[in-house]
Amino acid sequence: MSKGSIWQVRPLRRFMIGHLASSLGSRMAYAAVLWHVYELTASPILLGSVGLTQLLPVLVVGPLGGILADRFDRRTLLLWTQLVQAVPTALLGVLTLSEALAAWHLFALVLCVSFAESIDTAARKALIPSITPTEHLGGAMALADMVKNGAKLAGPALMGFLAAAASIGMVYLLNAVSFLLMAGMLATLRRSPRPEHPAESGGFSLVRDLREAGRFIRHTPMVWGLLVLDFVATLFASAVDLLPMYATEVLQLDVGQYGLLASGVAVGALTASMVMVRLPIPRIPGRVCVVAGLLFGLGATALGLVDQFWPAFACLALLGAADTVGTVVRNTVRELITPDALRGRVGALASLVTKSGPRVGEWEAGFVASIWGVQASILTGGVLCIVGVAALGLGLPVLRRPVHLEEAGGAP
């Protein structure tokens, strides 16, 4: 499977172009929001609360997004979510440029965008298998992650440049434009095919539909085992949102240098994605994810010990690489195992887990930083991550078992 052959799939290529545009804009804006919140409040607790603010929409709307992705045209859902995200982002840019911005505006933006993103995430993940031949799905998932990580690399750096050269308000306006570009790419795609076995018998039922997806996860040990592993790792070692505080207080950086530092995560993530796109799915995916989780904790631990720019950059790169390896393996295995009619709902429930861990962890890291300082917060989180992942690796036999994907029933 070569990257070139994947790129020749026209619908996937168009999707990836839009995916790159919206991801780039979003990463620019998120790095700007974090810097902006700390600049306005100087509060580590409020800084950590940015991630926690994103959790409410995930809990409330996330499961509904999965049901919608299984019942309606996924392309159309994505079109609407891009437009919904563009409006408040553009408004935030106007408020910033007119110097009328308050901290609560930033949290309101995060909340509004996260509601739309909760539906966007489920539809986006479920759409990829619908437009990708089965033999290319593993590479397509890795390519999507590589595009996202390329945006993570360029986004914070571009944010720093624009904020230093012009205004953070321009970052928000460009993010709004990026959503419109994604909408334009989606408009060129055909309507995505509906699942082969849509859950329509008996009409719409939120509880019944989610119970069906939950039953599948509960009876598929490989899926829930990898999700629990991810939750534990990110719960303890999610301190990336504290980077504005770390950059300011420990490294003494300005906004432009902060943007460059924040791109360190994406350097590692993009490098890992470029490798993963060319590799087959591991025979024992749980073992790979355990090693990735241990390296994730090691990167956080080392970050809490250093106080120089380039060592900190290297630690962030290790964090990004480890997180990407775990994410690509986990998502690819789940998509191949899951029947198409359940992909949206299973993906939504999986997102509840994978987003809850880091969001709660970011708030916890901010709380600890307000008491012990930012380095102590990052250091203790990294150590707890290593302990938790090691315990799961030893205590969950499913993480040491091979998975036979050729027997899975989820291929499109």
pLDDT above 60 for 227:
yes
Question: For position 134, what pLDDT does the model report?
Answer: 67
> Rounded mean pLDDT of 127-143?
74
* Angle ∠(369,371,376) on CA atoms, nearest 5: 50
Tokens, residue 113: 């965008």
Alpha helices in 131-220 (DSSP H): 137-165, 168-187, 206-218
Residues 106, 162: Cα–Cα separation, whole Å:
18
pLDDT above 70 for 408:
no
Residues 154, 264: Cα–Cα separation, whole Å:
10
Least confident of 275-279, 327-331, 380-384: 275-279
Question: For position 329, what pLDDT does the model report?
Answer: 87
Per the CB < 8 A criterion, the answer to whether 214 and 349 are in contact is yes
Q: What percent of the chain has pLDDT over 90?
A: 28
Question: For position 380, what pLDDT does the model report?
Answer: 93
Question: For position 412, what pLDDT does the model report?
Answer: 41
Per the CB < 8 A criterion, the answer to whether 34 and 47 are in contact is yes
pLDDT above 60 for 198:
no
Average pLDDT in the chain: 83
Q: With bands split at pLDDT 50, 70 and 90, how would you rate the model's confidence at 193?
A: low
Q: In this structure, which amino acid lies at residue 314?
A: A
pLDDT tens profile 14-60: 888 888 889 999 989 999 999 999 989 989 999 888 888 888 887 87
- A 10 A CB-CB count for 107 gives 17
Tokens, residue 37: 């919140």
* Angle ∠(276,348,235) on CA atoms, nearest 5: 70
Domain ranges of the chain: 11-193+209-406
pLDDT above 60 for 201:
no
Question: For position 205, what pLDDT does the model report?
Answer: 63
| Domain over 11-193+209-406 is classified CATH 1.20.1250.20 | yes
Q: What percent of the chain has pLDDT over 70?
A: 91
pLDDT above 60 for 264:
yes
Question: For position 394, what pLDDT does the model report?
Answer: 92
pTM of the entire structure?
A: 0.76
pLDDT above 60 for 298:
yes
pLDDT above 50 for 62:
yes
- Phi-psi sector, 408: left (phi>0), alpha (psi -120 to 50), beta: beta
More confident residue, 4 or 119: 119
pLDDT above 90 for 372:
yes
DSSP structure string for 279-338: SPPPSSHHHHHHHHHHHHHHHHHHHTT--SHHHHHHHHHHHHHHHHHHHHHHHHHHHHHS
Q: With bands split at pLDDT 50, 70 and 90, how would you rate the model's confidence at 284?
A: confident
pLDDT tens profile 387-407: 999 999 998 898 888 876 544
Q: With bands split at pLDDT 50, 70 and 90, how would you rate the model's confidence at 206?
A: low
Question: For position 55, what pLDDT does the model report?
Answer: 82
pLDDT above 80 for 173:
yes
Alpha helices in 42-136 (DSSP H): 44-71, 74-97, 103-130
Instruction: Write phi, then psi, for 304 (nearest 5 degrees).
Output: -70, -10
Question: For position 204, what pLDDT does the model report?
Answer: 53
Question: For position 51, what pLDDT does the model report?
Answer: 82
- A 10 A CB-CB count for 5 gives 12
pLDDT tens profile 339-361: 877 877 787 778 778 888 888 88
More confident residue, 112 or 148: 112
Radius of gyration of the chain (CA): 20
